[in-house]
Amino acid sequence: MRLIADLHIHSRFSRATSKTLNITNLEKYAKIKGLNLLGTGDFTHPEWIKELKNELTEDGSGILKTKTNFNFLLQTEISLIYTQDGKGRRIHNVVLAKNFDVVEQINAELLKKGRLDYDGRPIFGISCVEFVEMMKNIDKDTEIIPAHIWTPWFSLFGSNSGFDSIKGCFKDQTKHIHAVETGLSSDPAMNWRLSQLDDFSIVSFSDLHSYWPWRIGREATIFDCELNYNEIINSLKNKKIEMTIEVDPNYGKYHLDGHRACNVCLEPKEALKNKNICPKCKRPLTVGVLQRVEKLADREEGYNPKDAAPFKSLIPLSEILSALLNSGVASKKIWQEYNNLINNFDSELNILLEAKKDDLIKATNEKIADAIISNREGKIKIKPGYDGVYGQPIFENNEKQPSKNNQEGLNKFF
C-alpha cells in the first residue's frame, strides 16, 4: 500500500498553533492535500490525549481510525534542554508509539521529570541519551526521530545548540536511531553530503502548526508497505522509503545566514567574511542551515548515494497561486482558485505531481498551469529564507512583494 504520511504535526495545545486544530479539520485538510496517514501530534498533553481517545479507535495494527476511517499514528514532539560537554543543548525529537497503553506509560514516566499540561511540546531537562533509554525501556517499538535536524535553535546539528555528530548526541543509544528529519531548510541532497548519515533513513514531515494546505503535508514521506505500525517502523529501520516530498530548502526560514531585524541575508561565504556578524548592527547573525551543512559535510555538493530514496521539491499550491494572483495566501481570491483546482483534480498532491498540462489548462489559465509544471520540474526560483523569514517564490513582477505568509499574519504558525 502506498502511504503518503505526515508524521510530525501539532495540536491546538501547542504554543503558537491554530486554535481550531482538531481531528476533524486535520482529517479534512489531509484529504484535500492528498495524504492518507497523519501523526496525531502532542500525545503527551492530557487534554489532547482525552480527545484522541474519544475521536480515534484502535484495531491492534498500531493505526488509529476516525469515524470515517481516516488513518492516524500516535506521535508527539519532545523538547530536551540540557547541558552536555560544557555547552547548552536544545534538541527536539519526534516520538512514535504503537498504542494508547504505551502512550500512557510514556506520559507517566515523563511526569516524573516535569509537567505535561502547559504545552503540547513539553520541555524536559534530560539528555537525548537518557530520553531514548527511557523510551526503549517502556516499549522497544517506540521510535525516536531527531526533528528538523539542521534548525539553528532546537535540533541535532543546530548551529546554536546542537552537536557535530549523531553519536555525540545519542552516544550508546545511537543504535536506536533509524531516521532523521530534514526540516524545511534542508533537503536529502544536502544531507547526503554527510557520510555519518548513510545508515539512517532521511524523512520529511511538515511540523505543522495549522491545518491549512500551505502547511499540512508541505513535507511528507511516502512508504510502500502495509498500513501497520510495525511495517512503517521496519521501513525506517531498513531504509525502505519510497520517496520524500520536500519544499525547496530556500523556502525554509533558516536556509541562509542573516539578521531579520536589519533585513540582512547572506550566503555562507559572505557571512564568514564578516565572521558571522551583522554588517549593519554588528550583532551575531543567525547562522543558517546551508553554512552548517558546509561545515559538517565530508562530501562535495552533488554526491548521490546508490541506495538513496528519491525526493521531489514542491512549493505549496497556495503559495504559487498567491504569488501569481498577487493576493494573500488565505484570501478569498486564492481560495476560489485553489478550490476550483481541487474540484477538478481531487487533491493538491495530485495537481502538483500528476496532472497533465493540457488538463490543467482546461481547468485554469495557462499561466497557472505553466507554474504548476515548472514547480514540478524544480524550475521556480526562490528568494531564500533566513533568520525566521520564509523564502518566497519569484515570478515575473512579484520580486518586490512581501511574503504572503507575513501579509496574512500566518508566520506565527510556522
Rounded CA-CA distance 17/235 in Å is: 30
- The predicted-structure confidence for 152-184, as pLDDT tens digits, reads as follows 999 999 999 999 999 999 999 999 999 999 999
Q: Is the pLDDT reported for residue 413 higher than 80?
A: no
* Predicted TM-score (pTM) of this structure: 0.94
Rounded CA-CA distance 47/110 in Å is: 16
- The predicted-structure confidence for 223-280, as pLDDT tens digits, reads as follows 999 999 999 999 999 999 999 999 999 999 999 999 999 999 999 999 999 999 999 9
Angle at which helix 366-376 crosses helix 317-325, to 10 degrees, equals 140
Band of residue 395 on the pLDDT scale cut at 50, 70, 90 = confident
Q: What is the mean pLDDT of residues 375-397?
A: 93
**Residue 292, burial from CB neighbour count under 10 angstroms (0-12, 13-18, 19+):** buried
Residue reference for cell 546539528: 157
Task: Give me the sheet containing 220-224, strands edge to edge.
Answer: 57-58, 64-65, 71-73, 37-39, 2-6, 220-224, 241-246, 311-313
Q: What is the DSSP letter of 77?
A: E
Rounded CA-CA distance 295/292 in Å is: 5
Contact 219/178 with Cβ under 8 angstroms?
no
- The predicted-structure confidence for 120-152, as pLDDT tens digits, reads as follows 999 999 999 999 999 999 999 999 999 999 999
**Average pLDDT along the chain:** 95
**Residue 306, burial from CB neighbour count under 10 angstroms (0-12, 13-18, 19+):** exposed
| CATH architecture, domain defined by 2-250 | Alpha-Beta Barrel (3.20)
Q: What is the mean pLDDT of residues 48-74?
A: 98
